[in-house]
Structure 1
Amino acid sequence: MTEGEAAAAAATNGQTKDGEGEGQQQEVGEKIVRQIEYYFGDYNLPRDKFLQQEIKNDDGWVTLDTMTKFKRLASISSDKAVIADALRKASSSFMEVHEDGLKIRRSLSHPLPIFDDNLKEETMKRTIYCKGFAKDGSVTLDHLLEFFKQYGPYDTVLMRHFFDKEAKKQGFKGSVLVVFVDQEKAQTFLELPEVKYNGTQLLRKWHKDYVEEKKKEIEERKAKKEAKRKKDEDASHENEEEMEEEPPKGTFLHFSGVAEGSEVTREDLKEALGEAQEQCAWVDYSKGMTQGYLRFKEPESNKTIMEKLDGKLKVKDMEVTLRLVEGEEEAEQLSKMKAARSRARANSSGGRKRRGGRGGGSSFKRKRT
């Protein structure tokens, strides 16, 4: 319901019962006072939006009907008379009980600190980060509150949580923040030779130092991520520069003589090249067309290949005629190849995939029959 609920500074279970012993009643009373003083204390109240709103409604008074809706207080006692009586008997408390016994407030003689940067800084100076607690759910706030009593008065003990997406619930990180009443108490705790919880040595450091370390870790991760992005970007630019290089000349052969409407494929044409098929980079042709282009990898290789093939290809039961591509025709094919590369690069950077254009756009339209 409030931050007070999440990080309450007192703990117990059960409600008051008729016939409890005097010692138990006193213990319950002490827990009530400690819990109420946490809700209205210097640490929680400036941060608790709900209570902040409540104290504006009636000169600082908050009804016990409202207070008993707080789960941790209700777990100690939901009896308004018992709560009011406990606060009246607590002579050291900064809380006041209304004469009707139905509402309480922080004493006007204890003005609320202004929640600003100065208060945040002052609080951090007396806050210790502790790590080493079991994360299996066996450690409760009640256990921690009792454990830290031995190290002097504190304002609060805050369990640090994370949201477990798989289990869809909060989990304990195994670390806490202990806000001592002053910096001297915090310093004394920090300088102890060792602090163990259930036999486990606790890691202790100033909260401010912990925050700075985490900030540095985050900055280092960001720097590594940015360096990787820059490296990938540079590699991409290098690839683009390679693709922007002027394609070599003397790599095209034109072929014609494929029967109109035949089932000849690009693969058939490449196979017909024999040993030269390993040098073939692209076949500009679609099934059903009568002519097309072959592009080879090495510059000025088209003449050599054409000579080896004697200017002809045997494709299935057809003889296909080859000729060199030169002059304006070659310039046109090179231009189409560069345009196809540009499209491929744009598709790659934009995360889109399109059919065709891998090594050169089709130069001929299929005839309709």
Structure 2
Amino acid sequence: MTEEKEVATESNGQENNQSEGSEEISDLENSIIRQVEYYFGDSNLPRDKFLRDQILLDDGWVPLDILLKFNRLAKLSNDHDIIVNALGKSRSGLLEISDDNKKVRRNPELPVPEMNEERRKELTARTVYAKGFPKDSVLDDILKFLKQFEEVENVIMRKYQDRQTKNKIFKGSIFITFKTKEHATKLIESKGLKYNDTELLILWQDNYLQQKQEEYAAHKEKKQKKTQKGEEKGEKDDFKLPTGTVLFFNEGSDNLTREKIKDALTSLGGEVAYIDFNQGDTQGWVRFSKENAAKELSEKFTDGKVKIDEKEIPFKLLEGDEETAYLEKTVEEMAKRRKNMKNFKNRGSNRGKNFRGKGRKRRQDDNGGGPPSKVKADS
């Protein structure tokens, strides 16, 4: 299952209070009043395009036949007389019934509030998040439970759509909007409130949304770190270098160059992968491609020395901790260079590849290249 989006089932949760001497209102009539007042209420009407379009057709009047296209009202009753009689008992002053009892409209003296950022913040400030309801709960049962709290204006059952079945499934949590923040505070301050035998988790909607944003950010950061760690590990695994492949020298001269070193060692049968040396340095390292290649080549040296440019230069085979330290440093620098190249390519892609650098392409050595600060021997 995967959550696609929140799908809300909503209803005006406010009951119509009866004044002394008023007509008795049955449970069915109360449900009809509540549902129709929800349709024309401050919460639904500003964002119900279908109903707003209908209102524009006839000075705000909407035929009952149109309202009966809404499932929740139709499930309560599809009898016009029952609906009109119920709405006639409403004491909220929100609705008007036409003289022929066939149409309903919102009281013109109660303009619909504009749904702007200020309005959204005001609604959020008096909305409460509650979690802990059974997944098979129905709206009517939740509304009965909320009767103990006054001035419930709107209830949203939070749902998600199952990817396979396409069914909308209740998450077990709701948003409850009250008429005022003071009424909402009474629910927030209800300690240990239970639905059946389950204690509800109750938060201000603002606090809940902030908590979810922090959880999402933490999850995203954790995922990025895990991915980065995996990539770095993979890069190091890819850069695992063979042993017995490094020679060290420390008697270089001002005239010594990488090309001269490479030519001298290649003439002895060595396959040089990388020379870590700059002209003018007194010491350097030569790395070969194949396992034990440096060890086998060093056995051909006379007294451990190689004649380069009329000078006998001593070479030492790196072994043990010395070799391990050098190869580990090389692997880290190679991984860093690959990462920098990858980032550069990504930046180039984001710019739409408007610029393509030109120049001589450098060949890679047999082991994926060398440290970024040096030039390859076979370049």
When the two structures are superposed, what TM-score results if normalisation uses the length of structure 1?
0.61
- Greater mean deviation of Cα atoms: 142-151 or 190-199: 190-199
Decide whether aligned partners of structure 1 residues 28 and 303 sit closer, same or farther in structure 2, where only a CA change above 3 A counts.
Answer: closer
Query: Which secondary structure does the structure 1 equivalent of 2:60 belong to?
Result: coil
The separation in 2 between residues aligned to 1:204 and 1:32, in whole angstroms, is 29
Contact 2:11/2:34 (8 A) holds in 1: no
Map of 1:147-166 to 2, 5 A cutoff? 147-166=145-164
Contact 1:252/1:296 (8 A) holds in 2: no
Query: Which secondary structure does the structure 2 equivalent of 1:41 belong to?
Result: coil
Aligned twin of 1:300: 294
Contact 1:130/1:203 (8 A) holds in 2: yes
Counterpart among 186, 189, 194 of residue 188 in structure 1: 186
Query: Which secondary structure does the structure 2 equivalent of 1:112 belong to?
Result: coil
Decide whether aligned partners of structure 1 residues 82 and 169 sit closer, same or farther in structure 2, where only a CA change above 3 A counts.
Answer: same
Contact 1:132/1:203 (8 A) holds in 2: yes
The separation in 2 between residues aligned to 1:41 and 1:203, in whole angstroms, is 28
Decide whether aligned partners of structure 1 residues 213 and 191 sit closer, same or farther in structure 2, where only a CA change above 3 A counts.
Answer: same
Map of 1:198-217 to 2, 5 A cutoff? 198-217=196-215
Q: Deviations over 1:203-222 (max 9, x none)?
A: 11101000000001111112
Q: Which 4+ stretches in 1 moved above 6 angstroms?
A: 239-243, 246-254, 357-360
Aligned twin of 2:97: 97
Q: Deviations over 1:50-102 (max 9, x none)?
A: 21222122221111111011111111111122212222232433101112221
Contact 1:5/1:70 (8 A) holds in 2: no
Count of aligned residue pairs for this structure pair = 267
Counterpart among 1, 9, 24 of residue 6 in structure 1: 9
Shift of residue 227 of structure 1? 2.4
Shift of residue 151 of structure 1? 1.4
The separation in 2 between residues aligned to 1:202 and 1:252, in whole angstroms, is 82
Q: Select the structure that is richer in helix.
A: 1
Counterpart among 170, 195, 206 of residue 197 in structure 1: 195
Contact 1:130/1:205 (8 A) holds in 2: yes
2:121 is matched by which residue type in structure 1? Answer: E
Percentage of identical aligned residues = 36
2:292 is matched by which residue type in structure 1? Answer: E
Unaligned runs of 5+ in 1: 12-21, 255-294, 307-340, 351-356, 361-369
Q: Deviations over 1:174-220 (max 9, x none)?
A: 11111111100111111122211101111111010000000011111
Shift of residue 239 of structure 1? 6.4
The separation in 2 between residues aligned to 1:190 and 1:121, in whole angstroms, is 18
The separation in 1 between residues aligned to 2:13 and 2:65, in whole angstroms, is 20
The separation in 2 between residues aligned to 1:165 and 1:358, in whole angstroms, is 49
Q: Deviations over 1:259-303 (max 9, x none)?
A: xxxxxxxxxxxxxxxxxxxxxxxxxxxxxxxxxxxx741233445
Shift of residue 106 of structure 1? 0.3
Q: Over aligned residue pairs, what C-alpha RMSD do you find?
A: 4.1
Unaligned runs of 5+ in 2: 1-5, 15-22, 248-261, 270-288, 301-333, 346-363, 368-379
When the two structures are superposed, what TM-score results if normalisation uses the length of structure 2?
0.60
Higher relative contact order (CA 8 A, sep 6+): 2
Query: Which secondary structure does the structure 1 equivalent of 2:229 belong to?
Result: helix
The separation in 1 between residues aligned to 2:28 and 2:8, in whole angstroms, is 18
The separation in 2 between residues aligned to 1:228 and 1:252, in whole angstroms, is 47
The separation in 1 between residues aligned to 2:236 and 2:134, in whole angstroms, is 51
Aligned twin of 1:56: 56
Contact 1:132/1:174 (8 A) holds in 2: yes
Shift of residue 161 of structure 1? 0.9
